[in-house]
A = this chain, B = another copy of it.
Amino acid sequence: MMDLGGLQTILGDRLVTSEADRTQHGRNETYYPTTPPDAVAYPETTEEVSAILAHCHAQGIPVTACGAASSLEGQHLAIRGGISLDMSRMARVLSVNAEDLTCEVQPGLTRKRLNEELRDTGLFFPVDPGADASIGGMAATRASGTTAVRYGTMRDNVLALEAVMADGTVIRTGSRARKSSTGYDLTHLLIGSEGTLGIITALTLRLSGIPEAVTAATCRFPSVAAAVDCVILTIQSGLPVARIELLDEVMVRGFNLYSEAGLPELPHLFLEFHGTPAGVAEQAETFAALAADFGAEGIATATKAEDRTKLWTMRHDAHYASAALGPGKRICATDVCVPISRLAGAVVWAQEECVRLDLTSTIVGHVGDGNFHCGICVDPDDMGEMARVEDFTHRLAEKALALGGTVSGEHGIGIGKQGFMDAEHGPAVAYMRAVKTAFDPRGILNPGKLLPEAQ
């Protein structure tokens, strides 16, 4: 039996069992059914997290961390019951070391709030998933976003972690130094572990200087293949684009509906260039020349911060703009990543399959990384449609593997993609499982996620 009494002693009224709170923590932004935890815990310090885990470890109570609950493969859902460990009250910036381009933050801080707090320093944290996710959740899913092509993903922008391990032990991994060769890389082992190996309670982040000059650009192409071929050549030519995003014609239709974008309903690229004024101008010119060869039209640039914010806000609303295409439906957001040379083939294949299966789906992607998403409108109660969606997402994942890629570039595994772990990783899965067993022998941390169930 779950001993909530012990947790109450630790947390007082910050252990909540109300229906409303439980339901809220059982929700998700995609099509998984609502799955409330038995209780929600709101720790405020690392010591509390440690005490909670020590108790749950002793009692065998499942603990599923929750950041902003924006993950798209069901990661934050407490599918085995137990507590949802809501990190939102651990959301402070602990320190900013502007001279070192680093800061230390608590995990519940969201990326937008962090960048607001950094504003006066001339620095920013570049990783930007569409949602205003928590930094801890972003680390736990190894998130990325529109700027990963230039600034990297969470893998590249976290220098050090504080984490509470399953039995309550508090560890620190990494340091504020930019590199190190001292021992096993536990920082990267925790990044992407989806709360199954430890609870992140502080993160040292690498910051970047706000570029002197920024220019955004948009243009349209006669076909998705032309747009993607243009991206491939842009990347191959070494142009240091800061953002290069594909939106297929269906996605553009969604933006026209949701954001009144008024764009011609053709495939588009949205770009951004960062650098010195001269450097940015040179990049924009090089790109324009290159894009013309692929039939790009209507190249428009934006330098005013206001116009750029509008553009990227629209882009970040892609999930909701996809939903606008299927009123009353949910969005299944599936995500794959392939070597850049295989991108055109993969995107065109996905478009054709959706047509063949009579699915309404947008395609949008951080294409500079070879990464794209399909936002498929689906009615979870329509069994026929659900079956076609599953058929599609399965075959898209298999396609990505066949092309030398991965079944998820950034959304992760959760409960949505466990079935592909063996296909992608083969015998390596046993070593992942060995890590899990060594770190969390009682299996209390986010049970039922990431690793496929052992046969």
Chain A residues within 8 Å of B, Cβ to Cβ: 97-102, 141-144, 148, 152-153, 155-156, 165, 169-173, 175-186, 188-189, 191-193, 197, 208-209, 211, 232, 235-238, 276, 278-279, 282, 337-341, 369-371, 400, 404-413, 417, 420-421, 424-432, 434-439, 450-451
Contacts and interface: CB of A to CB of B under 8 A. Distances in A.
28 contacts: A100-B339, A102-B339, A141-B181, A142-B180, A144-B179, A155-B185, A170-B427, A172-B428, A175-B404, A177-B370, A177-B406, A179-B406, A180-B409, A181-B406, A181-B413, A182-B417, A182-B420, A182-B425, A183-B429, A184-B189, A184-B192, A184-B197, A184-B432, A184-B436, A185-B185, A188-B189, A189-B435, A279-B282
B410 A181 contact: yes
Contacts of A141: 181
B177 A337 contact: yes
Contacts of A173: 425, 428
A396 B21 CA distance: 52
A178 B102 CA distance: 24
A164 to B, nearest CB: 11
B431 A172 contact: no
A183 B425 contact: yes
Given A180-B409, A189-B189, A276-B282, 16 more contacts: A99-B232, A100-B339, A101-B235, A141-B181, A155-B185, A169-B430, A171-B428, A176-B405, A177-B404, A177-B406, A182-B420, A183-B450, A183-B451, A184-B193, A434-B439, A435-B435
Contact of A192 (B165, B183, B406, B408): B183
A413 B370 contact: no
A408 B370 contact: no
